[in-house]
Amino acid sequence: MDSILRITEKNGAFRAFVADTTQLVGQASSVHGLSPVAAAALGRTLTANSIMGLDLKSFDETVSIQICADGPLGYIVTVGDNDGNVRGYLDNPIVDLPLKNGKLDVSGAVGQGTLTVVHNMGMRDPYVGRVKIQTGEIAQDIAYYYMISQQTPSVVALGVLVDVDYSIKAAGGYMIQLLPGAGDDVISKLEANVYTLETVTEMLTNNLDVYGIAKRLLLGFDYDVLQSYSPQYKCNCSVDRMERALISLGSQQLQSIIDEDGKAELSCQFCKRKFLFDKSHLINLLESAKGV
Ligand SMILES: [Zn+2]
């Protein structure tokens, strides 16, 4: 089962999250039929979004990462809730690029553009933060977002290891955020730890769990594990949401669907679930559309 730990250093110098998202990235990969580089890009973004969601204050809030860039993967979007559950998709799930230095070329597949974080708080206006993509490797871009948008120095690592059969062998990451008052000694000790650490996917495939990774990452520090979460790949689509999407097309568009096709088939972009609307259902929606 996937797991994320929320950790705080005993003297309040930093907080940290350590995540194993192997299952949920695997689920995303099989829902969308992702190529290895697409699985790495979407999987890293889902992992970051899952961690980010844990800071939401209530269950009706969401946070979304949207990457709008010129690489072959196209638009990448993920959405998460306050339990760390996430969903996402990208424009081109089967992009294939040559390896770069023996690794999946995530930055080449993402390209240049912007990374936007949208925090939806129910009825209030959403909070939107946008930064220019720095590397396209996702982790550094998330760290840059926290620095620019929240003035929080952060260390972010994200990884997805794709097996030869395209299944997800391991996925996860960590984020350390310095809190005001963190001294130089703390920073240099953390840097030394991070520098000597293997990648997250290496540690996961070496049978370290999130507790074991935390122990390595935070070697020499006293810390408390405040909470443990079990995030999942989870969609919240429903007939009701799809009806609203159809109604929002407007009565003219709905009328032409009724006249030309006599039915509508909608597919959820996040989970590929299909919704069929027959003629009488569409006529009912048309009445609602006219009433708006
Ligand atoms: Zn769905």
SS (HEC) of 197-230: CCCHHHHHHCCCCHHHHHHHHCCCCCEEEEEEEC
Helix (H), strand (E) at residue 135 = none
Confidence (pLDDT) at 292: 56
Ligand 1 centroid distance, CA of 273 (Å): 6
Ligand 1 centroid distance, CA of 193 (Å): 40
Ligand 1 centroid distance, CA of 274 (Å): 9
Enter the CATH code of domain 239-291.
3.90.1280.10
Q: Match 């550094």 to its residue by tokens.
A: 140
Based on its alpha-carbon atoms, the radius of gyration of the chain, rounded to whole angstroms, reads 21
Q: What is the pTM of this model?
A: 0.94
CATH entry 3.55.30.10 includes domain 3-229? yes
Helix (H, G, I), strand (E, B) or coil at 238: coil
- Comparing CA positions, the residue from 238, 264, 258, 255 lying closest to residue 290 is 255
Ligand 1 centroid distance, CA of 271 (Å): 4
Mind listing the pLDDT tens digit of every residue in the chain (292 residues)? 999 999 999 999 999 999 999 999 999 999 999 999 999 999 999 999 999 999 999 999 999 999 999 999 999 999 999 999 999 999 999 999 999 999 999 999 999 999 999 999 987 889 999 999 999 999 999 999 999 999 999 999 999 999 999 999 999 999 999 999 888 999 999 999 999 999 999 999 999 999 999 999 999 999 999 999 999 999 999 999 999 999 999 999 999 999 999 999 999 999 999 999 999 999 999 998 887 5
**282 — phi, psi (to 5°)?**
-65, -35
Neighbours of ion ligand 1 (CB under 5 A): 235, 237, 268, 270-271, 273
Confidence (pLDDT) at 17: 98
Ligand 1 centroid distance, CA of 232 (Å): 13
**160 — phi, psi (to 5°)?**
-135, 125
Confidence (pLDDT) at 67: 98
Domain residue extents for the chain: 3-229, 239-291
